[in-house]
Structure formats: C-alpha cells, structure tokens
Structure 1
Amino acid sequence: MFKISTFLEKTNEGEESYASLDDSLKLREIFDHRKFTPEHIQMRITIKYNNQVVVGFDVPSGLDLWSDYMVAIEQYLDGENVERLYGIDPYLIKLVSINNNLLEFSIVGDWEPVEVFAQAVLPEKEFLESILDGAEHFWETLIDYKVFEEKEIGKTTFGEEPKLMIEEIEKLRKKVKTLFN
C-alpha cells in the first residue's frame, strides 16, 4: 500500500519550512502570503510503500513536481523507459519496466558520480494509480482553496489549469486501467 504526501514550501523563514497539503491552517498561510505565486510552487513529494520510505525528505524539493510525475507516467504508458528532469535542478526521475507487473523507480543526480536519492522496485499498476491519486489530491486542493482564481497569463486564464490537469489525470487513469487489466 502506498502513502503519497505533498508538502509545500513556506514563504517565511521559521521552524518548519514545509507544510503538508493536508494542514489547512498552514496552507492558508502559504496561499495568502504576498509572495506566493501559483505559477511555480516549490514542493516536496514523499512516497511510502508498505510503511517503507521510497521518497523521503532527503530527496531534493522542486518546482511543479506533480507535472513532472504526470509527464513521466504518460511517457511510461506510451511504452518508453523514462528518464526526465525532476524539478528545475539537475535531477532525473527514472521509470524502467522490469516485467509485466514491476517497475524500477528512481530519482538520481544528473552528474558524475551519480548520486541516488531514491530507488525501489515497485508494483507497476499500484504505483502508477497511487501517483495519479496524489496528483489529483494536489490539484483538487488548489481548486478548493481557489488558488488560481483571477490569474491570467497570456491568452488563457491560468485558473483553468487545475481543471485541465485533473482531466489529464483521468485520461492517464483510463490508460492505466486499459493497459493493466
């Protein structure tokens, strides 16, 4: 069983630099802070599998990590082994198919010698579904807090982005069910 958690970076200095996506008081402080911008959200994502830490707080944080996970899943479902940037720093997320029901997941540094921050062999379908659940929880929380309302960037309303991301999650979820049932 997977437990996926998202933590957002607080904009003020203090005892804790991250707040759980499930801590409504701290989230409200983050979203109401004058320096907060929804265009690029600094976050940490933790992953536990059967109470074992796969991705912990020692893995570097990054901007818009849920988008990175979703693109990685889409590439993986298209039959590719994935090696793509994780956040904006020189880190890579890798998804490699091992067999019909297992994948190797890792987050590594993109320099020599390669530093491995996370690495595990995981059940493929359950991992993909859990990641999509975590992404959906993130985007639904931003909708609930009306984080994107009244933001306009270019020709489109930025407020549409969370809804578009949830639609993309649903497409990926259907693809997972089709491929693994």
Structure 2
Amino acid sequence: MTTPAIQNDFSYYRRTLSRMRINNLPAECENEVNNELANRISLFYADATPMLKTLSDGTTRFVSENKNLPIENTTDCLSTMASVCKVMLETPEYRSRFASEDTVSFCLRVMVGVIILYDYVHPVGAFAKSSKIDMKGCIKVLKDQPPNTVDGLLNALRYTTKHLNDESTNKSIKLMLQ
C-alpha cells in the first residue's frame, strides 16, 4: 500500500527487457527474471496489499481444507495474538521493555495483520460484537501512536478488511476508523 509504483516499475523492467530481446541486445544477465516468474510477480503486485492477500488466501484455504479442525482453533489463535500485541503496546511496564521503535512498529503491524486475517477467516468477522478481538482497544492503541507512523495500518483496517462495512459492525468502531 505504501509503494504503489512498484507495479509500474516492474512493468517498465519487463518492457525494457522485451525491447532488448527484440533488438538482439545482450539481455542475458544473472538477475534476469524469466517470463513465468515475471507473470507471477505481476499478479502478486496487482493487489493493493499483496502479502496480506497471500496470507489471507492461505489462511482461508487452510481452514476450508481442514474441516476436521474446528475453525475456533484458528480464530482463537489469531485473536490471542491480537490481544497479546495490544496489551504489550498499551501497558507501560511492557512497553518500556521495547529496545527500539522498530519493535513497537513490528507489534503494531502484527496486531493489524492478525485482525485482518481474523476478519477474513471468522464467519462474522473481527468487527462483530461476538468477536474475541477488542477492536476498540486495538484502534485506540493505533491512534495513540504518532500519526504519520500508523496511517498505513489504519488504512489497512479501513480498506482491506472484509466485514467493516457490514450492518452488524458497531457504529462507534466505524467512527473510530473514519
């Protein structure tokens, strides 16, 4: 989401490589990407959040292919991870243990990532009242960070979740994300 130009840059690389082949210029180098891999890379970057899309597709596929495992096993794991990250970020005694802001940033990204995964996997999503994720608390933790550092994460919750705009979503949560 933060580097949308990467798709254009990769397309430029492919066009340049194609022109070099047409003109019989030596295009062979050790870093050249073959056509099959280039096509797969293009499809990967076609999504707004390619890594998140890959993770959510994989998690959804895991749940659907393993019907013998209760879906609660997966959703409980994801909600626990979100809760752990939230508590680590909002509690001063835990927060003071972080050696760098990179650790804080990592915890914020993990929290948002597992919320989005939970939203895709759980039948009613992360924003429903029956959700095991404290969405108001998680959004508050995000909003308590310096504004420029979490804009992308808030946008990820706004635009890549599946159930935010459902009628069952609490209006106060929708307002917090506006």
- TM-score, normalisation: structure 1: 0.32
Q: Highest Rg: 1 or 2?
A: 2
Larger RCO, structures 1/2 (Cα 8 Å, 6+ apart): 2
Q: Quick check: which one's helix share is greater?
A: 2
Q: Quick check: which one's strand share is greater?
A: 1
